[in-house]
Amino acid sequence: MHRKPPARHALLLKVLLFLAVVGGLGGTAIVYTLNRGAPGGEVAVDDRFHVKEMSFDMTIPATGELEALNSVEIRNLVEGRTVIKWIIDEGKRVAKGDLLVELTSDEIVNRIEEETLRVESAKSELVSAQESVALQESQNRSTESRARLDVELAELELKRWQEGEVATRRKDIEVRLQLAIRNADQRKKDFENSEMLFREGFISESEYVTDQNRLDEAKAELEKAQLAKQIYEEYEYPKDYKVKKSDLDEAQAELERVVSSNSRTLEQKRADLINKERQLTIRESRLAKLQEQLAACTIRAPGDGLVVYGSSVGRNPWRRDEPLQIGQEVYNNQLLIILPDTSQLIASVRVHETQSNRVQVDMPATVRIDANSKLLLAAKVRNVGVMAEQAGFGSQVREYTIRLLVEGENQWDLKPSMRCKAEILLGRVENVLAVPIQAVYIERGKSHVWVPAGSSTWKKQPVTTGRNSETMIEIKSGLEPGAIVLLRPPTPGEIEG
């Protein structure tokens, strides 16, 4: 009686076969664990396989998405943050020069007006610098006089602070500290006396507690007085001294600067004149840059292509990026639009890290688009990624990215990011003995199959395996053409006793 495998067994078999390929078995296979057939019963024809010579392809399956071979990135060149005023719809095809994005420019226009005023002001300052050379002599006398007066005032202020404020403050702190010490000593004696009287019953508990509280308060006051002295000596005094000394140093430095300035009056004025000229140049440069920023608010297509928003590229599955839209704020150098040239496509697919070393550049491949499963495209390996990446968040699987160049031009209106499946052809095995991969088992590093031992029993037959595909595996030794192998594990009743 022939039996067909249950649907769930067939599905599990496909999953196990896929894991066998992903696991990089090479010359081995996984164990097929489905129990089929009753103990000691007749084995279904579907469970037997006659060993024979055959040829099969060795391929690696992969999944991924389409990409354009060439594309142009459109980024926001406006500094700071700005807002989208208008943007072309995603998915449209554009020609060179077409308007893509308009960004708000009100703030830049205002800054241009402000910078224009600054340029005019810089020009006026340049004229003033030229006129000020004649007035320098009289200014030298007055500025030096003021600088000397500032030094004298700073010296007097430092002396007044050291001999007056500091001495007074230290005296006050020391008086408070001595009072606190004496008070604490007295409270300690009072408490010791109360403690003795309380034990002998001469005073009440409330009187005893009152003296204890007074002692605690006295200790706290003593600590505060000690802390006040420490804070003043370690923090307040050094800080005040540095401030006063800094004022004096600054006044002396200012005097030196004024004197030095007076000694080279004409030269300094000429230097000031040169400085004003440079300031005017800087202002004019800033104005020109702002005008460039204003021009950057209007973005046009540098060439033909398909409009793809930057928010649609490389999306994180755990963070949903909203599509670009009018009113959205964008930042400097943000990727706004990609213009992919869809005439030639790349299939960017991923393979398990154990399989990546088997893939070589220029290997042939086929690509099938999920949106059009009937369309089968020829391709070849363009490059293999140099770094493995995590397959997904929390996943322990690591994969390499393989880029497959789809042959010919895109005549089917395929677009980037379309999901696809690919098979990379590693090679072809010609005219070898082979069995289905589920017939081979591995036990303690050695391979074996199950062969007939009688009319309804089976025994292990050691074999040496070779190359394999997703479904077939080469048998180098251990079997002859025409031999029968079991495609499932035998039940306990079917194993030779």
Residues 140 and 250 in one domain: yes
First and final C-alpha spacing in the chain: 24
Instruction: Count the helix, strand and coil residues of the chain and give each as a percent rounded to the nearest 5.
Output: 45, 30, 25
What CATH number should be reported for the domain holding residue 469?
A: 2.40.30.170
- Give domain status of residue 181, yes or no: yes
Quick one: how many helices (H) and strands (E) in the chain? 8, 20
Residue type, 395: S
- Give domain status of residue 225, yes or no: yes
Residues 473 and 358 in one domain: yes
The per-residue pLDDT for 314 is 56
- Give domain status of residue 251, yes or no: yes
Among 224, 246, 277, residue at a domain's last position: 277
Q: What is the 3-state secondary structure (H, E, C) of 27-40?
A: CCCCCCCCCCCCCC
Which residue segment(s) compose the domain that 194 sits in?
131-277
- Residues contacting 234, CB < 8 A, separation 6+: none
| Count of structural domains within the chain | 2
CA distances from 410 to 73, 91, 301, 341, 383 (A): 21, 16, 21, 10, 20
Residues 346 and 487 in one domain: yes
The per-residue pLDDT for 487 is 94
Q: Which residue has the tokens 């000694």?
A: 263
Rg (CA), the chain: 45
- Give domain status of residue 383, yes or no: yes
> Considering the entire predicted model, what is its pTM?
0.49
Q: Which two tokens stand for residue 475?
A: 């048998």
- Residues contacting 450, CB < 8 A, separation 6+: 439, 441, 458, 459, 460, 461, 485, 486, 489, 490
The CA-based angle 21-24-30, given to 5 degrees, is 65
Q: Which two tokens stand for residue 461?
A: 């037959």
Query: How far apart are the C-alpha atoms of 337 and 307, rounded to whole Å?
Result: 7
- Give domain status of residue 462, yes or no: yes
Q: Would you tell me how many other CB atoms lie within 10 Å of the CB of residue 346?
A: 22
The per-residue pLDDT for 35 is 37
Nearest Cα residue to 91 out of 299, 301, 307: 307
- Residues contacting 176, CB < 8 A, separation 6+: 225, 228
Among 261, 277, 293, residue at a domain's last position: 277
The CA-based angle 73-75-76, given to 5 degrees, is 170
Residues 473 and 397 in one domain: yes
Query: How far apart are the C-alpha atoms of 49 and 178, rounded to whole Å?
Result: 108
What CATH number should be reported for the domain holding residue 153?
A: 1.10.287
- Give domain status of residue 104, yes or no: no
Q: Are 395 and 17 contacting, i.e. CB atoms less than 8 angstroms apart?
A: no
The per-residue pLDDT for 43 is 59
- Give domain status of residue 150, yes or no: yes
Query: How far apart are the C-alpha atoms of 339 and 304, rounded to whole Å?
Result: 7
Q: Which two tokens stand for residue 333?
A: 């150098």
* Chain CA centroid to CA 251, Å: 52
The per-residue pLDDT for 240 is 87
pLDDT tens per residue, the chain (497 residues)? Answer: 333 333 333 333 343 344 343 343 333 333 333 333 334 445 566 789 999 999 988 888 899 999 888 888 999 999 988 999 999 998 888 999 999 999 999 999 999 999 999 999 999 999 998 888 778 778 877 888 999 999 999 999 888 888 888 888 889 988 998 998 998 899 889 888 888 888 888 888 888 888 889 888 988 988 898 898 889 888 988 888 888 889 899 999 989 888 887 888 878 788 888 899 999 999 999 999 999 999 999 999 998 888 988 887 754 444 456 788 999 999 999 999 989 888 889 999 999 888 888 899 999 999 999 998 889 999 999 999 888 887 766 677 889 999 999 998 888 888 888 899 999 998 889 999 999 999 999 999 899 999 999 888 999 999 999 988 878 999 999 999 999 999 999 999 898 87
Residues 178 and 244 in one domain: yes
Which residue stretches of 161-236 are H helix? 167-200, 205-231
Which run of H or E residues covers position 94?
strand 93-94
**How many CA atoms, within 13 angstroms, populate the side-chain half-sphere of residue 225?**
21
Q: Are 179 and 269 contacting, i.e. CB atoms less than 8 angstroms apart?
A: no
CA distances from 203 to 192, 193, 198, 211, 478 (A): 13, 10, 5, 11, 109
Residues 71 and 136 in one domain: no
Residues 348 and 260 in one domain: no
Residue type, 441: Y
Residues 175 and 241 in one domain: yes
Residue type, 355: Q
Residues 370 and 248 in one domain: no
- Give domain status of residue 94, yes or no: no
- Residues contacting 145, CB < 8 A, separation 6+: none
Q: Are 397 and 352 contacting, i.e. CB atoms less than 8 angstroms apart?
A: yes
Among 277, 296, 328, residue at a domain's last position: 277
The per-residue pLDDT for 393 is 67
Residues 383 and 483 in one domain: yes
Residues 260 and 172 in one domain: yes
The per-residue pLDDT for 321 is 61
Residues 163 and 64 in one domain: no
